[in-house]
């Protein structure tokens, strides 16, 4: 990060300020409610999240009330308690940050996996219980495993088919074609600020440029091509001298036409 701050223009503002520090405020990124991550964890970790809840309920019901709930923490091993704090602590800490994104909660999944293993081994170690009761968690694990295999396989296959049908590789293909044309014609090109951050990766660029800067660089003769969203292209071209719309364009599906991109050349 230090190298990026020192040597990469715009790195400090884009990465440190906007993508990191601004996550703790509600002005740059859209804030989400406090409970935002909880349903996502239950959904993304299913069916294992369901199994964890079932095992926890079964363990509580097997204890003698009223000491049942309180005895859980007294009998819990330090390692299991640490896993519980790791999982819940990460969930609570991320929930307190106003700006939320689903993939940012994924780091709590590994401790949840270990916690589930601790739950299963803990129930299996209860030798005072009947043999059938001790084996029951393994039956639940097998059922959860089969459900997860069926669900994951079906979900993956559906995503692959949907990707081909909806041209999910549109940005990658567009970026490859633009780079090929730029290398062949020795173009100097930039990317006008857009919603898709992945566009920079496919075009081998490290930052976007603002519209005013793009117009100034183009009219000053410092650029031979520009990549812009289709929504901005028509208004942008009115300010560019000798600009023409290339045949290259990203082939998004109809619902995502607002995020399609075009190549502007001289």
Summarised one tens digit per residue, pLDDT across range 18-43 is 666 666 666 666 778 888 999 999 98
pLDDT at residue 15, as a whole number: 66
In this prediction, residue 66 carries a pLDDT of 52
What are the angstrom distances between the C-alpha of 91 and each of 22, 42, 108, 110, 153?
20, 12, 7, 12, 28
- Its sign, for the CA torsion 114, 115, 118, 123, is negative
pTM above 0.95, yes or no: no
Which pLDDT value is given to residue 226?
A: 93
**C-alpha to C-alpha distance for 197 and 219, rounded to whole angstroms:** 26
Residue 81: Cβ within 10 Å count: 12
Report the pLDDT value the prediction gives residue 178, as an integer from 0 to 100. 92
pLDDT score at 254: 47
Q: Which uninterrupted H or E stretch holds 134?
A: helix 131-166
Domain ranges of the chain: 1-30, 37-166, 170-265
pLDDT-flagged residues of the chain (< 70): 1-12, 14-29, 63-73, 123-137, 251-258
Which pLDDT does position 214 carry in this prediction?
92
* pLDDT score, position 189: 92
What is the reported pLDDT for 80?
85
Which has the closest alpha carbon to 58: 139, 142, 147? 139
- Residue-wise pLDDT for 90-118, tens only, equals 899 888 888 888 888 899 999 999 998 88
**What is residue 9's predicted lDDT score, i.e. its pLDDT?**
65
pLDDT at 194: 83
């Amino acid at each position: 990060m230090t190298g990026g701050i020192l040597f990469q223009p715009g790195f400090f503002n884009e990465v440190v300020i906007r993508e990191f520090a601004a996550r703790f405020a509600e002005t740059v990124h859209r804030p989400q409610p406090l409970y935002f991550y909880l349903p996502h964890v239950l959904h993304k970790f299913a069916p294992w999240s369901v199994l964890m809840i079932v095992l926890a309920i079964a363990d509580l019901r097997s204890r003698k009330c009223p000491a049942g709930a309180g005895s859980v923490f007294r009998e819990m091993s330090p390692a299991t308690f640490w896993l519980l704090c790791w999982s819940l602590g990460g969930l609570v800490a991320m929930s307190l940050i106003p700006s939320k994104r689903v993939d940012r909660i994924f780091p709590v999944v590994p401790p949840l996996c270990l916690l589930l293993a601790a739950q299963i081994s803990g129930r299996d170690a209860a030798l005072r219980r009947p043999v059938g009761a001790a084996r029951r968690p393994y039956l639940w694990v097998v059922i959860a495993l089969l459900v997860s295999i069926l669900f994951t396989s079906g979900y993956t296959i559906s995503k692959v088919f949907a990707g081909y049908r909806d041209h999910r590789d549109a940005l990658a293909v567009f970026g490859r074609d633009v780079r090929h044309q730029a290398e062949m014609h020795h173009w100097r090109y930039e990317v006008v600020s857009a919603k898709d951050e992945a566009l920079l990766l496919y075009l081998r660029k490290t930052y976007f440029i603002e519209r005013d800067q793009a117009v100034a660089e183009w009219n000053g003769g410092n650029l031979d091509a520009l990549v812009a969203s289709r929504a901005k292209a028509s208004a942008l071209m009115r300010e560019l001298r000798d600009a023409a719309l290339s045949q290259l364009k990203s082939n998004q599906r109809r619902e995502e036409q607002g995020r399609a991109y075009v190549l502007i050349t001289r």
